[in-house]
Structure 1
Amino acid sequence: MEQAQDAPADGGAIGNVANSWVMTLLSMGIDGKGPFDSAEEVVRDVARKHTDPQAQVDAIVRKHIALAGAEGFATSVGGFITLPVALPANVLAFYLLATRMTAAIATVRGYDLRQDKIRSAVLLALVGADADELLAKVGVVAPTGVLTGLAAKQLPHSALMVLNKAVGFRLLTTAGKKTFSRFGRNVPIVGGAIGGGLDAFLMHRIAESARTEFPPLAPQITSS
């Protein structure tokens, strides 16, 4: 796994694994599969209980933090994941939850998950500070944020595919080390078989990053 971080664009066998990993995060993490609800379904659920957008985001975050810390959740979704590489079940489940949570926050904030650049931005939120480095590999400098950089550059689909694969390489490297890397300046990211309580803590940190990377597209009227 160590070589995945700097693997070439085609990547050979590792490239296939990275592609499969990314496709799983996009298809299941964002669009849902089996008992794993899509990001939009999560948003519809919280919208029935909360009309205020900020309250909706808070509810989404609480839900995913609780799931991240729940014993047995990883095995409940494991049967719906097929990857050409063995990764700990809790790592797979954690990233699926983190992807869905980030996508749901983006949806509440007014972003269209059907757009490839938004889906790529969701993936980039999972790698934290490494996002700037990965964007630079496809010619994007984003001093004011991941989403701003993607929107300004208007990358073609082929470039977004390269970017997505780079995210896959980075996540596989992190998972393979079974340790912690840094997420942003002070935010650790999951990297192996760890306890549910710490998973919940790390999910909270990713949620804070997602709130920052996906600011509301338009002023929102909040309830008094």
Structure 2
Amino acid sequence: MSNELSESKIMQALDWAYDKAINGVSGLDSASELADSYMKKNSSPADMANSLIRWQNTKAGTSGFLTGLGGIITMPVTIPANIASVMYVQIRMIAAIAHIGGHDIKDDRVKTLVYACLTGNAAKDIIKDAGIVIGTKLTTNAIKNISGKTLIEINKKVGFRLFTKFGEKGVINLGKAVPLVGGIIGGSMDSIATNTIGNIARDTFITN
């Protein structure tokens, strides 16, 4: 029962982070604005995505950037602030990559695929079960054909994977929000994991 509750909280936190990433918050670009800044460059969508991923790893993982997120960590869900901020940063990156790929990031089906990408390498199996093979062209029609039932199944698997991921680190069990201190959050931003998630997002939403 407690696991279900925690997974439910994680999904609530994802929805919160997605809303902030899509609509933007004071002082930070929205996912589409972030994507547009890379789309001005004369390069292929895959190259744009790779540039964004490199920036994410070198800039967004710094404690200064994450400390600047303090203003957005006012969420109704009981989840540690370090997890919430990492979710926000990574979701914004994935959604920006989806936008570069020409997908409607306000579509619930795209949102669910963004969530799946958060699970890293596990996303391949989760998305494959939905009839989509990562690395092949993900057309708008293919996304439109994903049923509501399939979306629910994907979200369940994502919630379980993320609960397991954060639970292993012990941070999901803190019970109360961690003070938004750069060092604490900076330690949670694993650049290797972020790079993997970025690559999964690129391979999902953009055809090389």
Do the two structures share a fold, i.e. TM-score over 0.5?
yes
Which aligned pairs between 1:68-79 and structure 2 lie closer than 5 A?
68-79=60-71
Partner of residue 173, structure 2: none
1:70 Cα deviation from its structure 2 partner: 0.8
Partner of residue 145, structure 2: 154
1:160 Cα deviation from its structure 2 partner: 2.2
Counting matched residue pairs gives: 191
Q: What SS class does the counterpart of residue 34 from structure 1 fall into?
A: coil
Counterpart AA for 1:76: G
> Residues 37, 152 of structure 1: CA spacing in aligned structure 2 closer, same or farther, 3 A cutoff?
closer
Q: Where does structure 2 lack aligned partners over 5 or more consecutive residues?
A: 171-183
Alignment check: 8 A CA contact 2:39 2:100 kept:
no
Which aligned pairs between 1:87-106 and structure 2 lie closer than 5 A?
87-89=80-82, 91-106=83-98
Q: Where does structure 1 lack aligned partners over 5 or more consecutive residues?
A: 8-12, 180-192, 220-224
> Residues 20, 206 of structure 1: CA spacing in aligned structure 2 closer, same or farther, 3 A cutoff?
same
2:54 to 58, 62, 70: 62
Partner of residue 79, structure 2: 86
**What is the alpha-carbon distance in structure 2 between the residues aligned to residue 198 and residue 120 of structure 1?**
22
Greater RCO (Cα-Cα under 8 Å, separation 6 or more): 2
Partner of residue 124, structure 1: 116
1:64 Cα deviation from its structure 2 partner: 1.1
Deviations 1:35-61 (A, max 9, x none): 33211000222234x122344223312
Moved more, 148-157 or 123-132: 148-157
2:206 to 187, 196, 215: 215
Alignment check: 8 A CA contact 1:135 1:141 kept:
yes
**What is the alpha-carbon distance in structure 2 between the residues aligned to residue 105 and residue 197 of structure 1?**
22
Q: Cα RMSD over matched residues?
A: 3.4
1:140 to 127, 130, 147: 130
Query: TM-score with structure 2 length normalisation?
Result: 0.72
- Give the 4+ runs in structure 1 shifted more than 6 A: none
Q: Identify, as 1 or 2, the structure richer in helix.
A: 2
1:121 Cα deviation from its structure 2 partner: 0.9
